[in-house]
């Protein structure tokens, strides 16, 4: 089965750049999207098709995908960005999510 | 604006059944693929199933295949998840979500607030 691997947690200082990785076999050949989930809330799509931002998502969110790794980058991280982040791709008509990364803004 | 509202969650005994509903509004429901996604308490997201525009093509996660059935009623702007032979490991918040368009391999651009299913004796 196709699996996506994310680090369980990462931390960043306010104003710095946060990077969250997502790894999978030949992931660069698939489109990857990213969801942000804050405690008690539903997930929100922040990046799709590797690097596109939905309407209303701040420009500080960006994405890339190459080889076996996709990366979500948050530039100038703010306290409001503290959340769980999930990567997701499709494989054989099934959506696959990474295990999620808890981003702490310290 | 786009709204997805789930209902039907609750407490059910192992082996029991439950039917979840998702009512959609604010968009042309019949133009979009729809999915169910679940999240066990304190855990990550797990996709469950998706249904195409006309319901003719349906896909399930291996963990629910043969036990869960997804369906939709475009006239009622709603879709459903019939869950049978429920197990403790099916306990989760169940979200309904809209695909970005009429395609299976598209991201989920809108999510409902979720409905909690607890399977316990």
For the stretch A15-50, pLDDT in tens is: 999 999 999 999 999 999 999 999 999 999 999 999
Q: Categorize the per-residue pLDDT at A1 as very low, low, confident or very high, splitting at 50, 70 and 90.
A: confident
Q: Which residue has the tokens 């494989």?
A: A91
What residues in A contact B37, CB-CB < 8 Å? 95
Which residues are CB-neighbours of B44 under 8 A, at least 6 positions away?
A86, A97, A98, A99, A100
What average pLDDT does the structure give for chain B?
Answer: 97
Place of tokens 């169940």: B94
Length of chain A, please? 106
Which residues, at least 6 apart from B117, have a Cβ–Cβ distance to it below 8 Å? Answer: B9, B10, B12, B18, B20, B38, B83, B86, B90, B91, B92, B93, B94
User: Which pair of structure tokens corresponds to residue A104?
Assistant: 């702490």
Residue B60 has pLDDT above 90, yes or no: yes
Would you put residue A94 in left (φ > 0), alpha (ψ -120 to 50) or beta?
beta
25-84 of A, contacting B, C-beta below 8 A: 31, 33, 35, 37, 42-45, 48-49, 54
Q: What pLDDT shows up at residue A96?
A: 98
* B45 vs A49, A54, A86: nearest CB: A86
A43 contacts in B (CB within 8 Å)?
A: 45, 95, 108, 111
Among A31, A63, A35, A104, smallest CA distance to B95 is for A35
Percent of chain B with pLDDT over 70: 100
The Cα A10–Cα A18 span in angstroms is 8
Q: Report the residue from B45, B46, B109 with minimal CB separation from A54.
A: B109
Give the rounded percent of residues in chain B with a pLDDT score beyond 90.
95
Whether A93 sits inside 8 A of B59 (CB atoms) is yes
Cβ distance A97 to B44 less than 8 Å, yes or no, reads: yes
pLDDT in tens, B81-114: 999 999 999 999 999 999 998 888 899 999 999 9
Q: Please tell me the predicted confidence (pLDDT) of residue A16.
A: 97
Which pLDDT band, with edges at 50, 70 and 90, does A65 fall under? very high
pLDDT at B103: 85
DSSP state string for A25-57: TTGGGS--EEEEE-TTS--EEEEBTTTB--TT-
């Amino acid at each position: 089965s196709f699996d996506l691997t994310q680090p369980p947690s990462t931390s960043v200082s306010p104003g710095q750049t946060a990077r969250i990785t997502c790894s999978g076999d030949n992931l660069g050949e698939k489109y990857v999207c990213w969801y942000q989930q804050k405690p008690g809330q539903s997930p929100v799509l922040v990046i799709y098709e590797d690097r596109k931002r939905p309407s209303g998502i701040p420009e500080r969110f960006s994405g890339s995908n190459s080889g076996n790794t996709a990366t979500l980058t948050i530039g100038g991280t703010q306290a409001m960005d503290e959340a769980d982040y999930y990567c997701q791709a499709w494989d054989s008509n099934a959506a696959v999510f990474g295990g999620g990364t808890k981003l702490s803004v310290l | 604006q786009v709204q997805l509202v789930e209902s039907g969650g609750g407490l059910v005994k192992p082996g029991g059944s439950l039917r979840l509903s998702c009512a959609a509004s604010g968009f042309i429901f019949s133009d979009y693929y729809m999915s169910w996604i679940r999240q066990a308490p304190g855990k990550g997201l797990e996709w469950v199933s998706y249904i195409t525009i006309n319901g003719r093509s349906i896909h399930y996660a291996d963990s629910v295949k043969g036990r869960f059935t997804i369906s939709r009623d475009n006239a009622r702007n709603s879709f459903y998840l019939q869950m049978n032979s429920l197990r403790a490991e099916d306990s989760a918040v169940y979200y309904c979500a809209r695909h970005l368009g009429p395609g299976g391999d598209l991201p989920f651009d809108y999510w409902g607030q979720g409905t909690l299913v607890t399977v316990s004796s």
